Amino acid sequence: MLGTKALEIFDETTCVVRAVRRWTEFYKHESCGKCTPCREGTFWLDKIYERLETGRGSHEDIDKLLDISDSILGKSFCALGDGAASPVMSSIKHFRDEYLAHVEGGGCPFDPRDSMLVANGVDA
């Protein structure tokens, strides 16, 4: 995530959509709210990811994620907006099939116990 100097590595059991949703929730929470693109953009990204995860997402939602991200990228006062938009755009570019599986399958196709983002040995 932007500014953390962290690198996250996933295997095939990790849901990329869920991972990006968690990052989006982080950026929404951390937004100071001073600029409209970041404040409103992260709010709506979070709402759309919630729909995708709970089986209420649509093909239009995937396009809307890209539209909102484009409206945030380079248009916020600080780099937080860019940090929020970049994982959305790159995940759709490289993992569109996972997004489509959420829409067409009525929610996340991954077993939540297998695709949780927790360290080994930590109980969830």
* pLDDT, tens digit, 9 for 90 and up, residues 68-116: 999 999 999 998 899 999 999 999 999 999 999 999 999 988 877 665 5
Sorted by where each begins, the domain ranges of the chain are 16-104
Can you spell out the DSSP letters for 23-69? HHHHHHHH--S-SHHHHHHHHHHHHHHHHHHTT---HHHHHHHHHHH
pTM to 2 decimals?
0.84
* pLDDT for the residue numbered 124: 55
* pLDDT grade for 118, boundaries at 50, 70 and 90: low
Give tens-digit pLDDT for 41-78.
999 999 999 999 999 999 999 999 999 999 999 999 99
CATH number of the 16-104 domain: 1.20.1440.230
Residue where the block lists tokens 């089986």: 55
